[in-house]
Structure 1
Amino acid sequence: MASRVTSSGLGALAARAALAWIRGDQRAAQLERTNFHGATVTLAGGPALALGATLGAALGAPGPAAAAAVVTAGTASGAVGLYDDIVGDRPGQKAKGFKGHLAALGAGRVTSGLIKIAGVGAAGLIASALLARDPGVRAHPGRRDAGALRRTGDVLLGAGVIAGTANLLNLLDLRPGRALKAATVIGAPLVAGRGGAMTAGTLGAGAALLPADLGEEIMLGDAGANALGALLGVALAARTGPFGRAVALSVLASLTAASEKVSFTTVIQDTPWLRAADALGRRPAP
């Protein structure tokens, strides 16, 4: 198992190297988008973060199966997120929220967003099943000698945590730096203790790209936010048993349901301390 410093450093270096490589590609102009300030930014930050965070977290994983869970969650979530980033602006692809994508499906349209949701969910399920096979993951009373039904329930809860965390970070990625700041708050407690190097690798990649995100040079898009959240979800699932996973999933489900009714941006703007934290380090509005 790598140290926290080593995995964090690898995540940071890989993310910066990937960003430079993607931005230097001849097709990089296809990733340019206009942000909420009207500035032109690049979505290159998304795949760069997905790659760097996945490599850093895999290096810090406590065992081979946990490393496989990290690679599955990070790469698959990043890939389907990038697909939605590229295809989602095309005619007939727009839909708001999970209900909107289901409504589009009922009308005979398969949106890129629905493909992303299905892909992240499948990646979470596979990653959770891999975690259950890794002896390096923190053992919990009754997990290994539990019946098949209980083990299946534990895997499903882990899958929900992984997919739910990916979705939460995606919901928050509406302003520069917001998703990376939220990831730091969620991940900081997970850096301590057994398996902390896995989270350190994820956060190291995020820290390396935070200045460019705050400076409105890049945006994470669905590729970066989904991969970042999925990797934090893997770390959280690896540190909790059925009860902890159920609590985490309840919180994630509640926040997701609230997002269908309330704008997180409005809540942040109306809460002074959240507004100050959200604006910290960001460029002022033109």
Structure 2
Amino acid sequence: MKILFYFFLPAFFSYILINNFLRWDNVKEKLNYKNRRVKTAGGIVMVLTTLLMSLISLLWNYQEDTVFIIISVACMGFIGFLDDMFGNSRAKGFRGHFNLLLKGEISTGALKAFTGLVTSAAVVFMRGYASFLQLATDTLMITFAINSLNILDLRPGRVCKFFLLFMTILAVYDIYMGPVKSFYHFLPIFVSTAVFFYYDLREYVMMGDTGSNVLGICFGLSMAWILPLEYKIIMAVFLFGLNVAAEKLSLSVIIQKVRLLRLIDDMGRRP
């Protein structure tokens, strides 16, 4: 029964949603890196699938962690969709959005960053923490994870590859090391991302910030719930460094210069 719920139902819902999404009228389109017009905000498929499966799971087994996932996905999905629909490209990175704030303008990017920080802090606080160090580490790590997946979303399939790879590693770690299994809470969005992956790679649809924000917070939550504190500190520092590097350097250029990263990045992509 659990296999049906956590694997087949999310896959079925995602498949139905993505194929209907591609047929909807008036879906906003954006130019991708090849100047092809592609429907955006396709991440709404992952948002709806995750919310639906989480709500259904509450009907027979109420768990606070499921509620936290619903709150996180709903908040970041909404603000990401807002950015996809109404955002502009006048400001890039934290510096650009901060400069707009100094001029009295609130960009959707600034709202996204603020929502990510507040949502991360609220979920960590509500779930409970052993020390202030854990509270600060988890909050910052989740916040940096959200923005990290957002800045990686510049090529088809890149974010899906990152998310599926690292979530698999976390699941394996949780199975063999964790006394309490937390990974199954993230199976609906993992399966939904796997379905979406094909359409993303073939450039049928972009996930947009709607998807990357939600994958980012789920990636951050999974680390916060599964990893020991020392590993979380390492990941927080790594993700912070990735965010700082993206302010000054092009991650796509770096990836293209490193052969292994280039091979992984290009794998399965439409020519």
- Write the distance in 2 (CA, Å) between the matches of 1:68 and 1:269: 40
Q: Is the 8 A contact 2:41 2:211 kept in 1?
A: no
Distance change in 2, residues 1:176/1:117 (3 Å): same
Cross-structure match for 2:142: 162
Q: Is the 8 A contact 1:81 1:224 kept in 2?
A: yes
Note the alpha carbon deviations across 1:183-241, whole angstroms, 9 max, x for none: 01211112231222123322211110111101100001111011011111111111134
- The structure 1 residue matched to 2:237, chosen from 247, 250, 263, is 250
The RMSD of aligned alpha carbons is 2.3
Note the alpha carbon deviations across 1:116-153, whole angstroms, 9 max, x for none: 111111111122223328xxxxxxxxx3xxxxxx2x44
- Write the distance in 2 (CA, Å) between the matches of 1:197 and 1:168: 23
Q: Is the 8 A contact 1:157 1:246 kept in 2?
A: yes
Distance change in 2, residues 1:21/1:127 (3 Å): farther
- The structure 1 residue matched to 2:102, chosen from 95, 103, 106, is 106
Q: Does 1:200 align with 2:148?
A: no
Offset at 1:7? 1.7
Cross-structure match for 2:119: 123
Cross-structure match for 1:29: 26
Q: Which runs of 4+ in 1 moved over 6 A?
A: 57-63
Offset at 1:244? 2.9
Note the alpha carbon deviations across 1:96-127, whole angstroms, 9 max, x for none: 10111001100111111001111111111122
Q: In the alignment, residue 64 of structure 2 is paired with which amino acid? A: A
TM-score, normalised via structure 1 length: 0.83
Q: In the alignment, residue 260 of structure 2 is paired with which amino acid? A: W
Q: Is the 8 A contact 1:31 1:42 kept in 2?
A: yes
Distance change in 2, residues 1:24/1:130 (3 Å): farther
Cross-structure match for 1:39: 36
Matches within 5 A, 1:33-112: 33-56=30-53, 64-89=63-88, 94-112=90-108
Q: In the alignment, residue 85 of structure 2 is paired with which amino acid? A: I
Unaligned runs of 5+ in 2: 176-180
Q: In the alignment, residue 164 of structure 1 is paired with which amino acid? A: F
Higher mean C-alpha deviation, range 185-194 or range 218-227: 185-194
Offset at 1:24? 4.3
Cross-structure match for 2:178: none
